[in-house]
């Protein structure tokens, strides 16, 4: 099983590397214009206003991430701004889902965006631009170890550096915990759910997990993790060395803190009637999770105490 998973990850990595090169090599240049301020170049078709807006948003976030994490020099980010769903699908060569308006190919520095329509479209364009640029910056920062990064960290990092944590994310986590729909972090290693509400929960959980690495540990440790990835260490090894815990152990602690009663005082306090119904249920569930967590930690401790055959004398 482990061997199959490794082979699968290698094949996916090869596909992700080759796909953008094939797709964008086939993109017709006729009719496309470009605006550029290094290291950002935006291609568009008669969308000069939106293209310049994307250029400014992308450049601003790039400079901010560079100041905090020191991005490598001379790496160009190419952004293709599609004017219709059909051209967007042709660029990304991926099925369009109603909650996805952008795709990034991080290690190649390539982004495909769909120019939104309707009310609030420019704000949405700004949000998606920042998110996808953050993905590319993580690809630049992690280097060859990029393929080992789990999806929850990739998405969580992109959200952490490109937007603010708000009440909606907090409420989404609380609701999922109360309704027992919380997605274990290990299930967010690969593709996110396709269904809208489940996808939103996956993004909020990922955002929360990366925030926890900063607030429960430190920002400097997050930078250390990225440095180790850039040096070629696989994600799990780099994570354990940096934070002193494995990702399964971190996931257990993170879920406990992310859904604790103290996180939801403001929400429940503002909804007294709802709180009166759910608080006893929530407290019971919280106590049950603590007991389960302690049992898991005891089991891990027992396993750690057993001598590993790998280290036994021959």
Which pair of tokens denotes residue 294? 């302690």
Q: Of 201, 193, 212, 191, give the one whose Cα is nearest residue 263.
A: 212
| Count of beta carbons in the 10 Å neighbourhood of residue 117 | 10
The phi and psi torsions of 259 (rounded to 5 degrees) equal -115, 15
| Count of beta carbons in the 10 Å neighbourhood of residue 73 | 7
The pLDDT value given to residue 276: 53
> Whole-angstrom Cα distance, residue 265 to residue 242?
32
Q: pLDDT under 70 in the chain at which residues?
A: 1-30, 92-100, 261-314
| Count of beta carbons in the 10 Å neighbourhood of residue 52 | 14
The pLDDT value given to residue 196: 86
Q: Of 143, 121, 150, 110, give the one whose Cα is nearest residue 50.
A: 121
The pLDDT value given to residue 89: 81
Which pair of tokens denotes residue 292? 């389960």
The pLDDT value given to residue 186: 94
pTM of the model: 0.76
Ramachandran quadrant class, 93 (left: phi over 0; alpha: psi -120 to 50; beta: rest):
left
**Domains along the chain with CATH numbers:** 20-143 (3.40.30.160), 149-260 (no CATH)
The pLDDT value given to residue 97: 46
Q: DSSP letter for 264, please.
A: G
71 with 106: CB under 8 angstroms? no
The pLDDT value given to residue 91: 77
Burial (Cβ within 10 Å: 0-12, 13-18, ≥19) of residue 49: exposed
Q: Where are the alpha helices (DSSP H) in the chain?
A: 2-25, 48-69, 85-92, 121-142, 151-162, 167-178, 196-212, 219-230, 235-243, 247-258, 265-270, 272-305
The pLDDT value given to residue 115: 92
The pLDDT value given to residue 279: 57
Q: Work out whether the CA dihedral 192, 158, 45, 33 comes out positive or negative.
A: negative
The pLDDT value given to residue 260: 72
**What tens digit of pLDDT does each residue of 188-231 get?**
998 898 888 999 999 999 999 999 999 999 999 999 999 999 99
> Whole-angstrom Cα distance, residue 207 to residue 296?
25
DSSP three-state, residue 111: strand
**What tens digit of pLDDT does each residue of 37-65 get?**
999 999 999 999 999 999 999 999 999 99
76 with 140: CB under 8 angstroms? no
Which pair of tokens denotes residue 255? 């879920």
């Amino acid at each position: 099983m482990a061997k199959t998973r490794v082979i699968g990850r290698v094949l996916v990595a090869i596909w992700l590397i080759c796909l953008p090169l094939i797709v964008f090599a086939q993109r017709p240049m006729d009719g496309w214009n470009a605006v550029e301020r290094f290291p950002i170049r935006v291609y568009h078709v008669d969308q000069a206003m939106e293209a310049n807006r994307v250029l400014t948003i992308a450049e601003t976030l790039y400079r901010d991430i560079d100041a905090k994490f020191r991005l490598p020099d001379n790496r160009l980010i190419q952004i293709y701004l599609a004017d219709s769903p059909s051209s967007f699908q042709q660029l990304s060569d991926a099925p369009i889902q109603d909650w996805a308006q952008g795709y990034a190919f991080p290690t190649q520095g390539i982004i495909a965006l769909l120019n939104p329509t309707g009310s609030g479209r420019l704000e949405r364009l700004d949000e998606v631009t920042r998110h996808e640029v953050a993905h590319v910056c993580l690809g630049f920062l992690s280097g060859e170890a990029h393929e080992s990064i789990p999806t929850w960290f990739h998405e969580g990092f992109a959200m952490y550096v490109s937007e603010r944590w708000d009440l909606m994310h907090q409420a989404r986590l609380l609701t999922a915990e109360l309704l027992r729909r919380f997605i274990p972090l290990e299930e967010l290693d690969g593709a996110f759910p396709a269904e809208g509400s489940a996808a939103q929960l996956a993004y909020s959980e990922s955002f929360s997990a990366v925030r926890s690495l900063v607030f429960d540990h430190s920002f400097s440790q997050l930078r250390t993790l990225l440095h180790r990835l850039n040096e070629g260490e696989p994600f799990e090894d780099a994570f354990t060395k940096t934070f002193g815990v494995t990702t399964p152990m971190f996931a257990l602690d993170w879920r406990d803190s992310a859904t604790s009663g103290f996180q939801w005082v403001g929400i429940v306090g503002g909804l007294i009637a709802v709180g009166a119904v759910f608080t006893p249920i929530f407290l019971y569930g919280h106590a049950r999770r603590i007991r389960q967590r302690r049992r898991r930690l005891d089991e891990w401790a027992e396993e750690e105490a057993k001598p590993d055959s790998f280290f036994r004398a021959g």
